[in-house]
Amino acid sequence: MLHLLTLPDVATHTIPCIFQKVKTKRREVMIRIMLLSTLLLFILGFKSPEPPDDEKYPVDYFHAPVAHTLLLSGTFGELRPNHFHAGIDIKSSKGVAGDPVYASADGYISRIKIGESGYGNVLYINHPNGYTTVYAHLDHFTEALKTYAKTQQYARESFEVDLTPGYGDFPVLQGDQVGVMGNSGSSNGAHLHFEVRKTSTEKPFNPLLFGFKVTDNVPPKMHTLKAYYLNDKLQEQGTKEFNLVKVRNGKYRIKGDTLSLSAWRAGFALKVYDHFDRVSNWNGIYALKMYRDDLLVYDFDMESFSFDETLYINAHCDYEERVTKKSYFNRCFNMPGNELSIYNQKVNDGVIELYQGKPSHIKMIASDVAGNETVLEFWVRRGKTPATPVSGNTFNYILPYDEGNLIRTEGLYLHLSQGTLYENLYMNYGVTSDQSDGCFSQVHNLHNYRTPVHKYFNIGIRPTKSIPAELKPKVFVAYCQGGDVWNCGGQWKEGLLRAKVRAFGDYCILVDEKPPVVTPAAFSYNMKGYNKMKFKVMDNVATIGHVRAISYNAYIDGKWILMEYDKKSRMLIYVFDERVGPGDHVLKLTVKDAVGNETIIEENFMR
């Protein structure tokens, strides 16, 4: 199509005049069609078109959202902390922000979101074929979108906004520039996070199934096999890791050819990563199959998943390996509470029955979307000495994974709704004392941080000493781990400070009386020649979960101004515009932490 072939020219406004007239005319026609479609959608009850579930993905519908060669630093379904990666990460052509980002197909801008974390500056484009494409971590939007967003930010007096423009407000054609690649939000380097979702459900699908051209002649690389010793209740009795040796032609083996495991049953997990031509990144694989004696017993692929189930990653991966070593293993056996939908086959939940005199042949095949494969083969049998039963571990509560669980003591309220755990928990609970001035309760030791949970659960802690009235708004439920402290928030109810948390570990009531420290990074009285002012914000207590770390407002000459907050650098930034002209001005900046401690800066400056 004409507009596809002239993509670089669209970006630089150098296409011939006749081509521009054609595109302008097509845009007018498209807008008329969209307006008629809006009326039709109204008649049909606002149901947007969607592809049939059994339809193959349209491999020639979407165009790449960048003009340069697609080089990936992240793949769909890749294992990340507490979530599966929902798109592909496209690397910058120069390693820095600035690459133009284009609409992948005709459609309209359906959502514009700006946030200090997460996707940062992100656009959503709805397409007539029932899919939505997502463009995240943008440095900025194109001018019309930027102006619209800024107007809304000022109207709401908020940097963070989540906007849903009207159906015909921002129509786009395939190849139209919509933004510039950047590093906004929770990004660790300039790249474009790109997604393809089903519009009606927001369910993400693997973008590489839609025909995007990525050079990939490199098969996945296998690193480590982990074996789990399981009892008759499928409880873990112990583990052992085995380094893998590459043989040839994508084949791997263990040292020797047979594993002897001291258990009646075993589960396996594999550390394996995918790779591409011309990049050094370790990415996630597309699919993994495990056979026992030529029978497929475990099979998953990263074709799609829903955001509602992404937290099941903590059951799919080896959670303890992830939180203690930042190491990612794909489990090839199922935890009882894992309801993830990516599995195609789970014979006996992937658990391998072991026999002394009859070794079983295990074959694991890891593959990427391009069809490159690597294979691990070995034999496994039962050893002579069974592993020590888990009942030898210390515990004082048994919490079934398929029930709700409630614990009440003199100092603690703990409620876990059904579905919070992935397997039965043999929980060890105890209390220790903390005599420091800032602590107002015992420290409640809830099992250990190496045990995964799926949902937030409720905790309530009773203070062991009187809290002065002036400090009561400043206390919070604290999660303490490894010498670090996180504010989990807290509301008083029936004499307990209660909060929602999502990790086992040590909890107590602490107080925070220190206001944030706000330091000028680019600010002085004489701001002539400067295009922005910047302030560094530091606080003594980090936050976790739903608790907002800081809130802020800034005014110049008594009028609210838009200050952007970069959470990674902890920097507040105001870019001067027509609202602040030449002459003397007064800045008032107010920054509050999670418990309301406040720092106010009032300074004169000149432009």
Domain 393-511, classified CATH 2.30.30.90, yes or no: no
Determine what percent of the chain is predicted with pLDDT higher than 70. 89
Report the pLDDT value the prediction gives residue 469, as an integer from 0 to 100. Answer: 94
Report the pLDDT value the prediction gives residue 6, as an integer from 0 to 100. Answer: 32
Q: b or e along 566-587 (b: 16 or more beta carbons within 10 Å of the residue's beta carbon)?
A: bbeebbbbbeeeeebeeeeeeb
pLDDT tens by residue, 232-274: 888 899 999 999 999 988 999 998 889 999 999 999 999 999 9
Name the segment(s) of the chain with CATH classification 2.60.40.10: 517-606
Name which residue leads in pLDDT, 1 or 302.
Answer: 302
Task: Kindly report which listed range (36-50, 272-286, 370-384) carries the lowest average pLDDT score.
Answer: 36-50
Kindly state the average pLDDT of the residues 503-521.
98
Report the pLDDT value the prediction gives residue 389, as an integer from 0 to 100. Answer: 52
Nearest alpha carbon to residue 440 among 477, 409, 407? 477
Report the pLDDT value the prediction gives residue 56, as an integer from 0 to 100. Answer: 81
Task: Kindly report which listed range (27-31, 112-116, 368-372, 542-546) carries the lowest average pLDDT score.
Answer: 27-31
Report the pLDDT value the prediction gives residue 371, as an integer from 0 to 100. Answer: 96
Residue 516 reports pLDDT greater than 70:
yes
DSSP characters over 77-139: T-EETTEE--SEEEEPSSSSS--EEE-SSSEEEEEEEE-SSTT-EEEEEE-TTSEEEEEEEEE
For tokens 């990939």, what's the residue? Answer: 216
Kindly state the average pLDDT of the residues 300-320.
97
CB-CB contact of 547 with 489 (8 Å): yes
pLDDT tens by residue, 5-58: 333 333 333 333 433 444 555 566 555 555 455 444 433 444 444 554 446 899
Beta-carbon count within 10 A of 437 CB? 6
Q: How many CA atoms lie within 13 A of 382 on its CB side?
A: 17
pLDDT tens by residue, 384-421: 766 555 445 689 999 999 999 999 999 999 999 999 99
Report the pLDDT value the prediction gives residue 23, as an integer from 0 to 100. Answer: 53
- Give the distance from CA 353 to its chain's centroid: 36
Cα 5 to Cα 19, 207, 229, 339: the distances in Å are 11, 22, 58, 45
Mean pLDDT, the chain, whole residue set: 91
The CA-based angle 388-392-398, given to 5 degrees, is 125
Cα 345 to Cα 268, 269, 291, 354, 481: the distances in Å are 15, 16, 11, 20, 38
Report the pLDDT value the prediction gives residue 435, as an integer from 0 to 100. Answer: 77
Report the pLDDT value the prediction gives residue 570, as an integer from 0 to 100. Answer: 95
Name the segment(s) of the chain with CATH classification 2.60.220.30: 393-511
pLDDT tens by residue, 162-212: 999 998 999 999 999 999 999 999 999 999 999 999 999 999 999 999 999
Nearest alpha carbon to residue 366 among 257, 286, 275, 304? 286
Sign of CA dihedral 216, 217, 220, 223: negative
Report the pLDDT value the prediction gives residue 239, as an integer from 0 to 100. Answer: 95
Report the pLDDT value the prediction gives residue 384, as an integer from 0 to 100. Answer: 79
Name which residue leads in pLDDT, 256 or 104.
Answer: 104
Report the pLDDT value the prediction gives residue 54, as an integer from 0 to 100. Answer: 44
Report the pLDDT value the prediction gives residue 256, as an integer from 0 to 100. Answer: 86
3-class SS of residue 57? coil
Report the pLDDT value the prediction gives residue 31, as an integer from 0 to 100. Answer: 56
Fold topology of 517-606: Immunoglobulin-like (2.60.40)
Quote the CATH superfamily of domain 2-210.
Answer: Glucose Permease (Domain IIA) (2.70.70.10)
Could you tell me the pLDDT band of residue 77, with boundaries at 50, 70 and 90? very high
Name the segment(s) of the chain with CATH classification 2.70.70.10: 2-210
Residues 6+ apart with CB under 8 A from 96: 190
